[in-house]
Structure 1
């Protein structure tokens, strides 16, 4: 099966997430591709060799901050549901307003069977992770025989300090009195990154692409194939310059990114972008 590639431009980010796209030609193309791939794994049986679908919603973090078309992920999730394949959202990185919303069931317009959270759940103050499951999935392990139970636990289950910190952080993030970035109608974050500066950076000759959503700003530097790997040191000199400005960034090869907190002011985010843009001039001459 062959698929032609077409480029689609969107005037706003909201259009990318609009569920009206579900009836588009592209949705049909995605469905044909997903069905073909699942058929190869499962053969003629009902997904006999597919245990579950695990995805990072919207943004693939460690893979290079790649934004995935929400329509593709929605089609993928819905088709897996039709085939009785459990759906797992890995929101360890993306959850709790990292991408501007509390959970990505809202952003994608579909819900998982299992969701995994950590990191921003406690505001980064203390390590804590949580795995949530639907009632249907949880109940499937209930019963009299011990071997039917999910015999798994963690040494620090319900760790008191972590739970207390998470409860306070979530309360803090949701309250407009403590988080001036939250928009009460809808519970989403307002735009934190200056649009004009983002545009200037994205048009810079050293930049391949830019992703801006929620508390995340990421850019990919233009490089040849040999410098595009995860372990590439191509961005080292740029990062060293930014450290002199008090900005410490962890690179993913030739991808560098900034992450603020849900309560970080847009003014501070603008300051970060300004320093980054100024350093690009020196980076190009290096």
Structure 2
């Protein structure tokens, strides 16, 4: 986990007590980052005995392929029976990312759900005590390779930014072409106030991470006294080998001469998975769901009890 994000989360806890996050998310195994996650297999007493979970966690709607059809699963607190049936299934995966969905009744339902949950949590204190929203955009990785409905995350980001709640995108897993685009923010069609990158930034050769921020966030830590600065880091900060590997890796990612999978003037990766085969796999009696996007292909086998959602067969190219 990159130290700068952890620091920001800790600052948020000190000043505002809580973050807003999604169930199923995972933001690292350091103290501050763990507190920003909902209870899960990673936060049990044997894993993290100090965990308390200082966040307000929303249940997200998820999308997956099942029996050859892309389906939308809605949280119970959203009253799914009131959502139109035609809004809960898609013949093509790309339909899930269409901006035209912003005008649908489902978008209104998402907005109402988010507003209601925030109001119940905030009571008479308003929204100012929520320090930030932190999400893994589109795909929740370690939590089970869950694809969160992009429309929901887009509405959530807009609702938070309209309330002056800063938005953090944790792109440690999703960034640098993992999902077929350079940044998952492109799939959501919205921009965060803080974005965190790692892993594929160096092509997976050496460790390196970067945390980007808007001028407003950056300037909030600028003052004559260093006591207001983000002082903590780790021994790999800006190390020459990592930065050199990242510079070369990013250049190769973006160059059609070195990355033969690029299309659309270097902005997208071509489809890497045979969708006919994916549909067949999703219809197998032992397969519960399949998620395919960019270099990611994940399938969940049918299971019972505590094994549900945990034993996944996953692959990334």
Using the size of structure 1 for normalisation, the TM-score is 0.78
Q: CA deviation at 1:21?
A: 1.0
Partner of 2:313: 256
Q: How does 1:175-214 map to 2 (within 5 A)?
A: 175-185=255-265, 187-214=267-294
Taking the aligned partners of 1:139 and 1:115, their CA distance within structure 2 comes to 16
Which one has the largest radius of gyration? 1
| TM-align CA RMSD | 1.6
Partner of 1:221: 301
Q: How does 1:236-275 map to 2 (within 5 A)?
A: 253=311, 255-260=312-317
Q: CA deviation at 1:128?
A: 1.1
Partner of 1:86: 166
Task: From 112, 123, 132, give the equivalent of 1:32.
Answer: 112
Q: CA deviation at 1:25?
A: 0.5
Partner of 1:174: 254
Which range moves more in the overlay, 85-94 or 6-15? Answer: 6-15
Deviations 1:103-125 (A, max 9, x none): 11211011111111111111111
Pair 1:69–1:9, CA change in 2 (3 A): same
Q: CA deviation at 1:150?
A: 2.7
Partner of 2:44: none
Taking the aligned partners of 2:151 and 2:266, their CA distance within structure 1 comes to 21
Tell me the secondary structure at the aligned position of residue 43 of structure 1.
helix
Which range moves more in the overlay, 202-211 or 45-54? Answer: 45-54
Q: CA deviation at 1:205?
A: 1.2
Taking the aligned partners of 1:21 and 1:226, their CA distance within structure 2 comes to 35
Pair 1:229–1:67, CA change in 2 (3 A): closer
Tell me the secondary structure at the aligned position of residue 195 of structure 2.
strand
Task: From 191, 199, 212, give the equivalent of 1:111.
Answer: 191
Counting strand residues as a fraction of each chain, which structure ranks higher? 2
Residue pair 1:95, 1:103 contacting (<8 A) in 2 also: yes
Using the size of structure 2 for normalisation, the TM-score is 0.71
Q: Using CA pairs below 8 Å that are at least 6 residues apart, which structure has the higher relative contact order? A: 2
Task: From 149, 152, 160, give the equivalent of 1:72.
Answer: 152
Residue pair 2:144, 2:309 contacting (<8 A) in 1 also: no
Aligned length: 237
Q: CA deviation at 1:16?
A: 0.9
Q: CA deviation at 1:184?
A: 4.1
Matching of residue 125 in structure 1 with residue 205 in structure 2: yes
Question: Unmatched 5+ residue regions in structure 1?
Answer: 231-252, 261-286
